A = this chain, B = another copy of it.
Amino acid sequence: MTQKRSELVQGTLDLLILKVVALEPLHGYGIAQRIQAVSKDVLLVQQGSLYPALHRLERKGFLKPEWRESGNGPMAKVYSVTPEGRKQLKEEVEHWQRYAGAVALVLEA
């Protein structure tokens, strides 16, 4: 899983993380892989972006961590989404769709 340049648009990383973790609890490394896989290699999450984002979301109470055996190597910090996190996810999805729709309006003008 080679890490290349990704150029994530600022503000969307939290949304992406909350979404994939809401579907299934995952550890950080797995979150990055999942986002990359589902987006067909378009979205590449750097570790230096990922871990600060996870700590941010944890600090805000949107994610809850739990240490577990990963089975293949070091211990894994598995995150699940809290109820507040699901609420936040809902809001961020709506904001994104509203925003992307507005940008589309301008591009179609």
Contact = CB atoms under 8 A, between A and B. Distances in A.
Interface stretch (A12-20, A48-56, A57-65): A12-20
A41 to B, nearest CB: 9
Interface residues of A, number: 30
**Which of A20, A35, A43, A100 has the largest count of B CB atoms less than 10 A from its CB?**
A100
A65 to B, nearest CB: 21
Contact of A11 (B10, B100, B105): B10
B107 A39 contact: no
Contacts of A19: 106-107, 109
Pairs of residues from A and B, 6 with the lowest C-beta to C-beta distance, nearest first:
A42-B102, A10-B10, A39-B102, A38-B109, A9-B11, A43-B102
